[in-house]
Structures are given as C-alpha cells and as structure tokens.
Chain A
C-alpha cells in the first residue's frame, strides 16, 4: 500500500485525566510548541511566500499574469486533463475494488501490487515509459508517425502519463472500505430478488459514497498538480502542451517570479479547497 494514506475513520478519542497518565504540563507545552513551530516552518511559511510573492508587483501584474493567453491555455489544458483522467480512474477504482473485495481468484495479489506500483514509481519514470512506447524511437513510434498520430509531445501523452500516476487513488481508498463493509448486504439484496446492477447501485454505491468522493478528491488534486511525468511527456510547447505546473516552471526559469507565483497562487487556492472538501468528507463520513 505504498504512497497512500486512506481516509481517517477512527472513532474513539483518548480521554486520560489522571496526573500519572499525562505528561507534565511543561512537556505538553514544549511538544505542542515544537509541533506547531515545525508545521509553521514547513507548511505555513511556504504558503505565505506564494501569496506574497504573487502580489509583490501589485494587483495589476497579478491579473495580467493569470489572464495572459499562455496562462489561460495552460489552465484550459489542466482542466481537460482532469476531466478525462479523473472519471476514468474513478470507474477503474470502483470496478477494481469490486473485483478484489468480492471475489477470490489466482493472481489477486499480483493485481493489487500492480495497482500499487504507480505510487512507488518516480514521476519521471512514469513519463519515460510512455516515451518508450509512443515516442519517435518508441515501440509504436513508426506506426504512429505513418498514421500522423501524435501521442507524446501532445495532449494524449499528457493524459496517459496522468492516468498512470493517478491510477491507484480511488482503488486504494475503496478496497479497505469495501473489505471492512463485507458482502452481507449485497447477498441480502440478491436473496431479495435484485439483479447485480441493482444491487450495486442501490446497496453498494450508497455505502461507499464518501470513500469514493474522498478518493476522487485526492485523484483530482494529484492530476492537477502532476509535474514530473507530464514534464517528460509534454515537450513543453508553449500555449499547446503546457499544463499549469509546467507553465509555472517556464515563468520561473525566465525569472518572471511574480507571474510564476501568480499562477502558483491559483493552484494553492485549489489545494486549500481540496483540503477543505477533504475534511468535510471525513467529518461527514464519521457522523453517519
């Protein structure tokens, strides 16, 4: 289960009040201070930096940066990638989770490992494999060239690389959830005369909806922010094959810091949004 931390479903909180059951107050204060200082240093400061640098040249520069045609093209491309990859991997996640949790078959462990792999693999390698498959020197390179189909250094390549990198999210969220829920309700549904599809949509889906949503949110966040894999596969063609993170990289490397951070601030807002929704989902699923 590499690279994945499932939604927190713990229900009990520890309540200890006796003096020999708690650290001395001094220690408590110290630990709290260390924890908060660490988090401030590593999380809060970078966030603040993003927004401050974004606006350091004033509001007008900021707005120009995010409405510039290349920026808009990057935003649009990121959106397209997300709209294609997230639903696909969501469907895969649901089907794979159903397969793995409801049936026993040879090779199940191999499949589970296969699904784990994208988490363990460096994003650069994720991009590399698609170059090896579809690049000019790649396995299908000549065939693609003869049919004038572009995959790498074009949008399809970006989509494939993103699909690879975000493949496990929904599945890894649903598998433990569905395993914990068991199959009794599905069996009950069958004895009551419901078909397989009806059972899935009326019984299973409502039971997994929060886990599914959670997985989709994580998948979505990663798809938007993927950098390494897409960097390898995109060809960095301005205005055409740059996603938002790639666009940020270009601006930064050209020393257009304010502009780079302006776009980065948009992505940070999205990230904060993701965190909020994630927490809402966690809260909701605990209070069912």
Chain B
C-alpha cells in the first residue's frame, strides 16, 4: 500500500457519469448531429458553382429578403408591444390579469397550422379584419408580418417579465429621491436593465420567425418573387424532387441559424457577466 501513489482519475463522486454521457451523446448524435451534418455533406457534393447558382437565383434571393425583412419587422413590433405588455402585466392590476397573463403563451401552445388558417380567415378581403382595410393584408408581406408577430409574441414578453418582477424597487426609489422625473427614471434606470432581456427576446423571435412555416404558408399566398418565404422554396423544391436545390438553400438557412444561436448565447453570456461582475 504505497502512500504516495498516483490515484486513478475518476470523473466525479456523483454516480452515473459514464451511463448518462453514453446515452446523451448517442441520442443527440443520431437525432441531431448526424442528420444535420447530412445537409452539409450533401451540399459539399454539389459543386461550388452549382451551389452558388442555386442560392443566388433571383427567386431565392427575393425569398431571403422577404423572410429576413418580415422577421425583422415582426421582431420590432414584438419588442415594442411585448415590452408594454410585460410592463402592464407586472406593474398594473386589472380584472382578468391572470387570465391574460396565461393567454400570452397561446402562440407556444397552438399548432402553427391552426394559427395559420385562423389568421388567414381573419385577414382575407372578406374576413372580419380584412374588410376593414382598403388594401389587401392576406397574401401580401403585411400578412406575413402579422403571422410572424403572432409566433414571436411570447418571446419578448416572457423574457422581460422576470426582469421586471425581480427588479429592485429601491433603485427606482433612489432615482426618484434624487429628483428624477418618471420618464427620466424609466429611460436611465429601468430601461437599461431591460435591454439584455429585450435583445434576447428579439433574437429569439427573429430566429423563430426566419424558419417559420406552418403559420405563414396559408396567409402568404406564396407568389414567387413576391410572397414566397425561404422555407416554402425548400418545400417546393422537395416536391419537385430537387433534393440538391433544397439542400443548398437549407444549408444557407442553417448557417444563418447557427449564427443567430451564437448571437443569442453571446448576449446571454454578456448579461451574466454584467451581473456577476457588479
């Protein structure tokens, strides 16, 4: 029994490391890693010039602009109204507040196809809301923006709410006691605290909206060059058995998604750093 022997390195005291590592890696690999890498493997076999031709085709580029632009617009709308909704839910009291609060999650719980047909029915020229406007809403980019706003609505609200709820009232009181008017307190003291949550909420809403299919495909009208979103182009190519084309465009979308994911993680890391250091 040597006293100075080198101990064999075990991972940790809590049990189950080997088992859980094996299972998790296996599951995540065959369901996520392997399938997603197929996109890039297939694209690689396509040849560079063919790839560029496919992903820069005017129709495809129009869909990028539409998907991006609509997702961005929807994100902005959700930031503005989502913050207001979060504020009202946390700070004010009115009958039925708990019910409304619960309702905010509806876009998470409702199937996208159901949302899609409901919104379309509302905004077609003969629909309840469609008939109130002289211009067309359904089958135009406006309709797309509306659908994407619906989908992303809960993200900003649910990100901002906890920040407001945990907000240290003493900071507001300090600001007021130093003579600041309400708007100043809001602008200089409260809003900066909300910025990370708002940014995260925007990014989540944006990322979701970019790839959204079910709720958009009914209201969009799907006219090439005008109201065709990128996921739909992929779908169309699949239906025509143009797997290569579908894969090429999918790889572009994936790269954007990864980038967004990275961005979201950076925002959250930056937020944590801010609070850990302070």
Contact = CB atoms under 8 A, between A and B. Distances in A.
**Are any A and B Cβ atoms less than 8 Å apart in their complex?**
yes
Interface of A: 1-3, 5, 8-10, 12-16, 18, 20-24, 28, 31-32, 34-36, 38-39, 41-47, 49-50, 53, 92, 95-96, 98-99, 102-105, 111, 113-125, 128-133, 135, 137, 139, 160, 163-164, 167, 183, 186-187, 190, 195-196, 199-200, 218, 221, 224-228, 231-232, 244-246, 248-249, 252, 257, 260-261, 264, 267-268, 271-272, 274-276, 278-279
B14 A35 contact: no
Interface string B1-21: 000000000011111110011
- Do most interface residues of chain A lie in helix, strand or loop, or is the interface mixed? helix
Contacts of A18: 173, 176
Given A2-B261, A122-B213, A117 B32 contact: yes
B36 A21 contact: no
B14 A196 contact: yes
Contacts of B107: 43
Interface of B is mostly: helix
Given A8-B162, A120-B261, A46 B109 contact: no
B46 interface: no
A10 B164 CA distance: 10
A279 B164 CA distance: 19
Given A35-B81, A102-B12, A123-B211, A271 B158 contact: no
Contacts of A114: 28, 32-33
B31 A38 contact: no
B196 interface: no
B95 to A, nearest CB: 11
B131 interface: no
Given A116-B261, A120-B260, 9 more contacts: A5-B155, A35-B87, A49-B118, A124-B232, A133-B35, A135-B243, A231-B213, A248-B113, A267-B110
Nearest to B268: A1
B158 A103 contact: no
Contacts of B166: 10, 12
Given A2-B204, A224-B111, A261 B117 contact: yes
Interface stretch (B51-59, B136-144, B246-254): B246-254
B88 A32 contact: yes
